[in-house]
Amino acid sequence: MGESPRWHDAEQRLYWIDIQKKQLHRFSPKTGRSESRRLPEIVTSLAFRKTGGLLLTLKKTFVLYDWTTQQLERIAKVETDQPENRFNDGICDPQGRFWAGTMAAKNWEKPAGHLFRLEPDGKIKRVRSSLICSNGCGWSPDGRTFYHTESFRYTVWAYDFHRETGTLSRKRIFAKVDQNSGGFPDGLTVDAEGGVWSNHVGLGTITRYDPRGKVERTIQFPVPRATDCVFGAEKLDTLYVTSARETMSPAQLRTFPLSGSVFAIRPGVKGLPSAFFGG
């Protein structure tokens, strides 16, 4: 269950997680070296810290993690009254705040999720409620528009984003996936031109929407479950895409043997640097 790819520009490494295997991975395209770490429970998203190390979401907990020492420090827990929920995707905004959403771990279409904002000082704000599988998030290049995916409302929403306070307003539909298509929107990233790249699990595609929400292109992958994406490489001109093989049958895996791989493509546009958590 590959998810949450993040590019560390100073290290020139790609990081990503495997939710179900409870693993954190990193890869150096320059050397070809892959490394991994195992966590004590499922890990669902990651961000880099300005002071060094990583911020992770585990099942219900924000944690600080040191790759070298493997030291893990739990800093906050959410939804103690909702034992069936877990964290899903999360990402930092340009101001250094971390945004992470939750979902019902078994009944994915239950409106049980929330969207949280973790401030650099450790304070947590619940920003949105009654979400059906909170998923990929991102910001426009000018930082004034926030994109947020609800997978099983089959919708990517857009909001006006108030950069100083981190508040949202003027919610509207940015893009929708046909509920009868067999696919749903998952992770996303935003490029330097304002294009929004959204993975459509089930369809094996990634779609680039222009800033108005119009489909600009669709790329087909040799797997049905391309899950999330990020721009990386020295010039931020390579799009790295994770994928999943969770719950696929043996017959499906024979048909799509590359499921669970990480892919790299050069789409002809550049991305934005990863934002770092300020705490």
User: What dihedral angle (degrees, nearest 10) is formed by the CA atoms of 92, 57, 187, 168?
Assistant: -50
Longest dimension (CA), the chain: 51
Q: Do residues 266 and 191 lie in contact, with contact meaning Cβ atoms separated by under 8 Å?
A: no
Mark whether 186 is an active-site residue: yes
Q: Of the listed 186, 191, 210, 237, which one is catalytic? A: 186
Identify the pLDDT of residue 247: 87
Cα separation, 109 vs 132, in Å, equals 6
Q: Count Cβ atoms below 10 Å from residue 81 Cβ, excluding itself.
A: 6
Compare 269 and 247 and report the one with higher pLDDT. Answer: 269
Q: Do residues 172 and 158 lie in contact, with contact meaning Cβ atoms separated by under 8 Å?
A: yes
Domain ranges of the chain: 2-265
Identify the pLDDT of residue 229: 98
pLDDT tens track for 94-141:
999 999 999 999 999 999 999 999 999 999 999 999 999 999 999 999
**What does residue 52 show for φ and ψ, rounded to 5 degrees?**
105, 150
**Start-to-end CA span in the chain (Å):** 28
Question: Tokens 């790299």 correspond to what residue?
Answer: 264
Q: Which CATH number fits domain 2-265: 3.40.30.10, 2.120.10.30, 3.30.450.40, 3.30.300.30?
A: 2.120.10.30
pLDDT tens track for 50-68:
999 999 999 999 999 999 9
User: Helices marked H in 161-266 — which ranges?
Assistant: 250-255
Task: List own/partner pairs for 67-72 with CB under 8 A and 24 or more apart.
Answer: 67/24, 67/26, 67/37, 70/37, 72/39, 72/40
Cα separation, 267 vs 273, in Å, equals 17
Cα separation, 94 vs 30, in Å, equals 27
Would you say residue 268 has pLDDT above 90?
yes
Mean pLDDT of the chain: 97
